[in-house]
Structure 1
Amino acid sequence: MRRSLSLTAVLTAAAALVAPGVSSAAPAPVTTVAWVQCPAEVAGRGLECGTLQVPLDYREPGGRKIEVMISRLASANPEKRRGILLTNPGGPSPGLSFPADLKSFGLPQGVLDAYDVIGVDPRGMGHSTPATCDLTQEEQFAGSVPPYAVTPADVRERAVEVREIARKCAASSTAYLLPHNTTANIARDLDRVRAALGEPKASFLGYSYGTYLGAVYTTLFPRTTDRVVIDSNLGAGGWDVEGGRMFGRGVEDTFPDFAKWAAAHPEFGLGSTPGQVRAKYFELAARLDRAPVQGLTGPQFRALTFGRLYGTGDAAFAKMAAEWMALDTNTPPPPDDTPIPPGLENLIAGRYYVVCGDSRWPTSVRTYERNVAVDRVRHPMFGAAAANIYPCAFWADPVEQPVRISDRGPRNVLMVQNERDPATPLAGARTTRRAFGDRAAMLTIDQGGHGAYALGGNKCANDEVTAYLLGGQRPAHDLRCAAEAPAPTPARVPLPTIG
């Protein structure tokens, strides 16, 4: 079967109050990590791997257990080691390889010396007790961000599809996990990992969805979290219905960077001004809505653009410009080297379990029709995708209320945020900043893209974050880093991709 222009890129783009009776502040019981051979996909990368038994339901800590797998990139410098750094790559996605990924991305050697860097496959994902929805290949390829709704009827058609996805999740062999695979419980698992490793406190570095996880973690466990860095921040409500709608705002914020670049590169023929490049986007989308070109539909083209905006710099923009030019001229596209994430069914199913289980989503299809109509006007590039209906509309009600991000606790949170981010825009990050109050300082960076620290970005921001992780010198006030020459960002699978 011939693959469309960027099927894998489309896939990548489309790819928490505490409940009564749940103790979050009590010390976690000391359990043991069983160190095991690492899975094949992370073997040879300098990691140690282990498993840990945690409660399925923290309201019944002595009840049924599930397994969480962790990895450790141990400090090679005992004299400089100060503790552990728990990490999360976003998604929600598996994180077992993330410590090694961070090292390859450029995590400073000083940080690698100061910490054992810990990766975790969150409950339900990867090599932890896995979740499934028995999704078909087509349902997997649809990803976790809805398609662009060209007409109101598209919302109703998508509602039929996601109702079936929700039904299959509820009927799956792992449906017993559904009430319990939440961000709050993943945060509780993290504190179990900390205790099992014998550490009185743990620092945390999380990106995209991992910022919400980190915010929930330090809210539930303020006394056992040390230095917390959260980069590319979701809003205070996490990936709820309003958090999903933020993708529309993010594309509008970020696209001008590409439009300016493309206008300065006439060899791609996309327009000589940023306004003409923007008009080309709508022209191509409308053309593809009428008839696919090279196997790509209009909604897929919009999702492809969304995903490509995660990257910055000449290489990322040139790749997107070449793809647009191929569509515009109906010529062979450039090779697509975007990898299909391994374990795709588990990735998408596990993500639904968390996103839909964290909060209560509107149940009326008409609500999503109205949201799409509003956001198609408010954020015309991608709003009618971001506001479209999720399987969460047909999910069972959460068993506990979402965690309310709190300003109670030490001043130990450093937020890092690009001013122009397609998935987690600055507007959402500001709600998390307000929720943390004096607990946090926010470092904003005059650049686009998704992800900043140690991802080939801004030296000013990298230096500030590294200084905090190593010496605890968190800025006393919010700071802004000026734009620098853009550097290419590494390929990875963040939030939707959120995260």
Structure 2
Amino acid sequence: MKRRRSAALVGVLGLIGALIAVMPAGAGEPAPAAGLKWAACPADVVTAPLTAECATVPVPLDYSDPDGTRIELMVSRIASTKPEKRRGILMFNPGGPGGTGLDQPAFLAGKGLPASVMDTYDLIGMDTRGVGHSTPMSCGLTEDLGYWANVPPYAPDDQAVSAQAKIAQAVAERCAATDKDDRLRHLTTANMARDLDSIRAALGEKKASFYGASYGSALGSAYVSLFPDSTDRIVLDSNLAGTHLDRDGLRRFARGVEDTFPDFARWAAERHASYGLGRTPAQVRKTYFALAERLDRTPAADGTTGAVFRYLTFVHLYGDVQYGALARTWQTLLSPGDTPPPPATDAAQANDQALTVFLAVTCNDVEWPEDVATYRKAVAEDRKRYPMFGAAAANIIPCAYWKHEAAEPVKIDKKAKGEVLLIQNRRDPVTPEINAKLLRQKYGQRATLVTAEDSGHGVYVLGGNACALNLTTSYLVDGTMPARDTTC
């Protein structure tokens, strides 16, 4: 899962680029690690007009064998130019698993990350193990497999679940056959958390702060749980309910769609004269089902099916900035004979790396049911309970046929050191509010939850809630945690 910055999502976030040398360390700062060689970032990593630089950090492929095979992680840095204000480093993860993050500091800075945060920290982005400019890992996924997104397609009946099971099995078998060096089993949230601490050490820092969104919230939870002594200020945004994505978490995507769709429906109803999708929110919802069912029977000229239409709607609910594009797509689909723009899922089919890492981490972190009947039952239940998207989020994924046994998931200890700030929109299509409440319970008194009365995936900087922005900035800069759970 990833935070969205455009309509084309499938489990990955973008890239950054170009860069220069950083300011020398100021008084009181740790000396930079001697082994890191900073240079311009790769040309496809766009950070302009900010100044940044990139370096590679070697880490063990298998942390139980630290002297064995090494892989490389590429990190980016936008340095604080105020040594007198600098506290340390703030690492970022934009989501996934499988999202590239070298550009995340520059992206958030471009969206309005406060100058006080940029003064307080060197901003550290990274491509996690397996993706982007870090050592790549691949299942060799190709379009012919029919696996195009990290959320399975909507299944209108049992037969569709059985058909998807064949695709899921073929994908898992492709991953197993391609993984000749047995590397995929080392793609876990726990290992990515260990990578974060390796990056901290390589940068010569005693402690690291962390901001993670979407799946990044699970990674941050694993990081602070495994390394309470070397983590500093932790902000988790748009939360999963623990240290990994499990089957319940994936099924809750459907709840998120039901929670968030009314915001789009109201928006579209107010603009009926422009888009013709319905004069009331209820009529817009009716249009959704009518379109989905029609496309189930007869796909559009460009191949858009009911399942693709539902997925397109899901990913466009990530923020109201995308509502116009979604309304235009619906409008085009409503006109017989017209062909809508290519669906966002096209980009996913070529994204072997991102889908590989999403699958490997998700399947390796926890056990998934292996019986197709279990998924058929869940799909039937959720098709009724969450009719918009339930039969997609509950559908079978390749984890049901995964080669490797699940690793022991990282556990959150209520009594451990390290406080955590949780921030969450009330209505989120991917990580619904219930996730943050469940995560808050797991942390106990260690966590404080700030709930924004807002809609979309992403609160800090990307959201429009001033109160949540101010509270998060205050915590990152001054260490001031809200006195209690707060609704903004």
Within 5 A, what are the aligned runs for 1:384-403? 384-398=391-405, 400-403=407-410
Correspondent of 1:214 among 205, 213, 220: 220
Alignment match, 1:95: 101
Alignment match, 2:328: 322
**How has the CA–CA distance of structure 1 residues 14 and 410 changed in structure 2, closer, same or farther, with 3 Å as cutoff?**
closer
Give the CA deviation at 1:87.
0.3
1:305 aligns with 2:317: no
Alignment match, 2:27: none
Correspondent of 1:248 among 254, 258, 265: 254
Q: Cα deviations across residues 52-108 of structure 1 (Å, max 9, x unaligned)?
A: 111111112222211111111111111111100010000121111111111111111
* Aligned counterparts of 2:38 and 2:91: Cα–Cα separation in 1: 17
Correspondent of 2:354 among 327, 347, 363: 347
Equivalent residues of 1:132, 1:174 under 8 A apart: no
* Amino acid in the other structure paired with 2:213: Y
- The range that moved more, 330-339 or 357-366, is 330-339
* Aligned counterparts of 1:280 and 1:289: Cα–Cα separation in 2: 14
Equivalent residues of 1:468, 1:474 under 8 A apart: yes
Equivalent residues of 2:207, 2:230 under 8 A apart: yes
Count of residues in Structure 1 that have an aligned counterpart in Structure 2: 457
Give the CA deviation at 1:343.
7.0
Alignment match, 1:157: 163
* Aligned counterparts of 1:349 and 1:138: Cα–Cα separation in 2: 16
Alignment match, 1:21: none
Percent of paired sites with the same residue: 49
Correspondent of 1:377 among 384, 400, 403: 384
Equivalent residues of 1:131, 1:174 under 8 A apart: no
Equivalent residues of 2:219, 2:243 under 8 A apart: no
Correspondent of 1:423 among 430, 442, 457: 430
Correspondent of 1:464 among 448, 471, 488: 471
* Amino acid in the other structure paired with 1:416: I
Equivalent residues of 1:76, 1:113 under 8 A apart: yes
* Aligned counterparts of 1:259 and 1:456: Cα–Cα separation in 2: 19
Q: Secondary structure at the match of 2:388?
A: coil
Equivalent residues of 1:231, 1:453 under 8 A apart: yes
**How has the CA–CA distance of structure 1 residues 386 and 457 changed in structure 2, closer, same or farther, with 3 Å as cutoff?**
same
Alignment match, 2:67: 62
**How has the CA–CA distance of structure 1 residues 343 and 282 changed in structure 2, closer, same or farther, with 3 Å as cutoff?**
closer
Q: Cα deviations across residues 101-145 of structure 1 (Å, max 9, x unaligned)?
A: 111111111111110000111111111111101111344761111
Within 5 A, what are the aligned runs for 1:330-341? 330=336, 332=338, 340=347
Equivalent residues of 1:310, 1:422 under 8 A apart: yes
Give the CA deviation at 1:368.
0.6
Q: TM-score, normalised by structure 1?
A: 0.87
* Aligned counterparts of 2:203 and 2:423: Cα–Cα separation in 1: 28
* Aligned counterparts of 1:220 and 1:333: Cα–Cα separation in 2: 51
* Aligned counterparts of 1:439 and 1:208: Cα–Cα separation in 2: 20
Q: Cα deviations across residues 202-246 of structure 1 (Å, max 9, x unaligned)?
A: 000011000000011001111111000010001125211111101
1:12 aligns with 2:9: yes
* Aligned counterparts of 1:343 and 1:412: Cα–Cα separation in 2: 40
* Aligned counterparts of 1:237 and 1:473: Cα–Cα separation in 2: 25
1:49 aligns with 2:59: no
Alignment match, 1:489: none
Q: TM-score, normalised by structure 2?
A: 0.89
Within 5 A, what are the aligned runs for 1:139-218? 139=145, 142-173=148-179, 175-218=181-224
Give the CA deviation at 1:344.
1.5
Alignment match, 2:238: 232
Q: Secondary structure at the match of 1:40?
A: coil
Alignment match, 1:451: 458
Within 5 A, what are the aligned runs for 1:21-60? 32-42=35-45, 45=48, 46-60=51-65
* Amino acid in the other structure paired with 1:385: A
Within 5 A, what are the aligned runs for 1:240-279? 240-267=246-273, 268-279=275-286
* Aligned counterparts of 1:140 and 1:127: Cα–Cα separation in 2: 26
* Aligned counterparts of 2:175 and 2:471: Cα–Cα separation in 1: 43
Give the CA deviation at 1:450.
0.4
* Amino acid in the other structure paired with 2:217: T
Give the CA deviation at 1:33.
2.6
Alignment match, 2:366: 359
The structure, 1 or 2, with the larger RCO (C-alpha pairs under 8 Å, 6+ apart) is 1
Equivalent residues of 2:238, 2:431 under 8 A apart: yes
Q: Secondary structure at the match of 2:44?
A: helix
Q: Secondary structure at the match of 2:101?
A: coil
Equivalent residues of 2:317, 2:456 under 8 A apart: yes
Give the CA deviation at 1:319.
2.0
Unaligned runs of 5+ in 2: 1-5, 13-32
Equivalent residues of 2:371, 2:400 under 8 A apart: yes
How large is the RMSD of aligned CA atoms in angstroms?
2.1
Q: Secondary structure at the match of 1:179?
A: helix
Equivalent residues of 2:148, 2:349 under 8 A apart: no
**How has the CA–CA distance of structure 1 residues 159 and 243 changed in structure 2, closer, same or farther, with 3 Å as cutoff?**
same
Q: Secondary structure at the match of 1:42?
A: coil
Alignment match, 1:487: none
Alignment match, 1:105: 111
Equivalent residues of 1:209, 1:238 under 8 A apart: yes
Q: Secondary structure at the match of 1:68?
A: strand
Unaligned runs of 5+ in 1: 1-7, 16-29, 482-499
Correspondent of 2:86 among 68, 81, 89: 81
Equivalent residues of 2:215, 2:240 under 8 A apart: yes
Give the CA deviation at 1:464.
0.5
